[in-house]
Amino acid sequence: MKILFLDHSGVLGGAELFLLDIARQYRDSCLVALMAEGSFQARLEQEQIPVRVLSKQAIRVNRGSNAWQSFTSLKQIVPLVLEVLKLSRDYDVICTNTAKALVVGTIASFLSRRPLVHCLHDILTAEHFSLINFRLVPILTNWFAERVIANSKATQTAFVAAGGKTELTEVIYNGFLPERFQQSPENATQLRQQLRLEGRFVVGSFSRLSPWKGQHVLLEALTHCPNNVVALLVGDALFGEQEYVDRLHQQVAELGLHDRVKFLGFRADVSELMSACDLVAHTSTSPEPFGRVIVEAMLCQRPIVATAAGGVVELIEPGATGWLVPGNNAEKLAEVINECYADPDLAAAIAQRAYQHASQAFHLDGTCQKVAQVLERVVADQALTPIQTGTVL
């Protein structure tokens, strides 16, 4: 089975990490086509996964674009469609990984008569998408996709509520290899020494710095915790969000937290840093489609507290494998931090149960097997029906 993967981003985000894990299994029979240059391309090349960049200029449509902006982007889309159309004739199935890739992929799929599978990594809501973009994903998938792989039940539910067909969808969680997250206690101790964190209770936040990721909530929560509690903010602004980063630094100054907060920026040693934390906090103020950081923290055997919304509630059993708190509530977050600070044995026991759960429920082998089954069924069905007619909206 030969697969043409299509992604619009050159940045290595959660959706791209999922694609990387899947494409790795097909490196001898796939091509990853990207619509922009960036770190994702470099990572694919490092993993010896075939990759081709179709355009050096990213499509200028974003979540807030209106109908006119979307229309004027056609001059960028047409050349991409022609390129993907030409490539697709050498592959059995097109697998799109983002909404922009879906637009290009559906047209190429229709013209080349190659089946289309879409991987959905976003919770479709009017809050985060313009009306045209909110409607476009379900319309295109209803008409052209053979299957839609949703990364959580929350993502699936939102897709159906937006008009997507339930029968098209299949929930497949992101997968992980537990051994990649194992770190020695000696390494964690050494890293804490390098960061001058000896004797401190360290709460880690691992995400791009963005208003909806809620780092400001963690900073506010610190004011309700003992002075020995400090925060590590690992990540940086990605999509024009530098203003938010500036506001975080201002918040630190206003709250008098300059000696209790460390901004580490983008780091490649995420597992090592997680292992050096006493608690990992995931503070999104809007529902997360999945929440890779949560599972990564579990596999690093670190206790996790997260916002109770979206796919996150499918990952954590409160009081058993972690803690869930209301969104945008610094006081409730502080209560959990203080509980872990006061009772490290309880936190360690919950972290160990979470590790056992995540090792089984989110193992990469299971994810790859489920994705392979979807793709193989689609290709087999296409072989029985050479002329693709699509589904009815």
Dmax (CA) for the chain in angstroms is 67
List pLDDT tens digits, range 173-197.
Answer: 999 999 999 988 899 999 999 999 9
In the numeric block, which tokens belong to residue 102?
Answer: 């879906």
CB atoms within 10 A of CB 72: 12
In the numeric block, which tokens belong to residue 261?
Answer: 């907060």
| DSSP state for residue 322 in the 8-state scheme | B
- Report whether 93 contacts 378 (CB < 8 A): yes
In the numeric block, which tokens belong to residue 238?
Answer: 């990605």
Which domains occur in the chain, in start order?
Answer: 3-175+363-384 (3.40.50.2000), 178-361 (3.40.50.2000)
Query: In the prediction, which pLDDT does 62 show?
Result: 53
Res. 81 pLDDT band, cuts 50 70 90: very high
In the numeric block, which tokens belong to residue 371?
Answer: 């994705």
pLDDT of residue 390 exceeding 80: no
pLDDT of residue 83 exceeding 90: yes
Query: In the prediction, which pLDDT does 56 show?
Result: 66
Which pTM was predicted?
Answer: 0.90
Lowest mean pLDDT among 80-89, 99-108, 331-340, 384-393: 384-393
List Cα–Cα distances, 43 to 104, 119, 137, 265, in angstroms: 23, 20, 28, 19
3-class DSSP state of 262: strand
pLDDT of residue 265 exceeding 90: yes
> Mean pLDDT score of the chain, rounded to an integer?
91
Closest C-alpha among 181, 198, 202 to residue 190: 198
Q: Up-side HSE of residue 14: CA atoms within 13 Å toward CB?
A: 20
Query: In the prediction, which pLDDT does 382 show?
Result: 86
Which residue type, as a one-letter code, is found at position 163?
Answer: G
Contacts of 119 (CB under 8 A, 6+ apart): 15, 18, 19, 95, 96, 97, 148, 149, 151
Report the pLDDT averaged over residues 128-138: 79
Query: In the prediction, which pLDDT does 77 show?
Result: 84
What values do phi and psi take at 59, rounded to 5? -65, 135
pLDDT of residue 61 exceeding 70: no
In the numeric block, which tokens belong to residue 370?
Answer: 């489920």
Report the pLDDT averaged over residues 205-219: 96
How far apart CA 180 and CA 119 sit, in angstroms, is 24
